[in-house]
Structure 1
């Protein structure tokens, strides 16, 4: 029972990450690849069929496969991601997001920045 709930939760999270990743692939200032990698991780543990679909997808799959093979993030993608973090945080601040949201975004973006910067190119 617990294993089923765990798989269903991971599958739901994978779907959410997949949708956000797809949106991020076309919307400026929103990183898509990070969310696609998270979706693939969730699908690895919940739905191998959907994972295979994602990895073999013409547009979504290459960046996830590249990540799995090398663990590297291209320098251009790093710059774009870091710029996106600054833009997203600035937009949230400009449009008056509540302070707890700004703090959560700041912590999340700081952690992601450390992770991204420490990956090989």
Structure 2
């Protein structure tokens, strides 16, 4: 049980770091990392989960996700744009064809996942 909590804590902290970095770096998506951090913290650290769920930057989106299992239309649009830009840049910069194909498959999967998330009006 301790190993499982430690694993979730490590993934949650890593996701939080990437999500915070995504605020400053336009090509790095924030939303999926913050959602993943909240998921992981719920299973590893009630203190970090409570902090994230009440943080002024993330509380609204996380509460919408928690109660409605939906995100605002504008936030979803930003997630689409950031995801497409970051994957496109990666696909252009990577020289190996098999890595490009793998990135394209991951992009397709992520876009399909984002598409199925219900939207709330802004």
> Normalized against structure 2, the TM-score is what?
0.86
Q: Identify if the C-alpha distance between structure 1 residues 82 and 46 changes in structure 2 by more than 3 Å, giving closer, same or farther.
A: same
Displacement after TM superposition at 1:45 (Å): 0.6
Picking from 12, 22, 25, the partner of 2:23 is: 25
Output the aligned Cα RMSD: 1.6
* Paired position in structure 2 for 1:42: 40
* Paired position in structure 1 for 2:57: 59
Which runs of 5 or more residues in structure 2 are unaligned? Answer: none
Which runs of 5 or more residues in structure 1 are unaligned? Answer: none
Inter-partner Cα distance in structure 2 for 1:88 and 1:73: 21
CA contact (8 A) 2:71 2:118 kept: yes
Displacement after TM superposition at 1:56 (Å): 1.0
CA contact (8 A) 2:53 2:63 kept: yes
Aligned length: 119
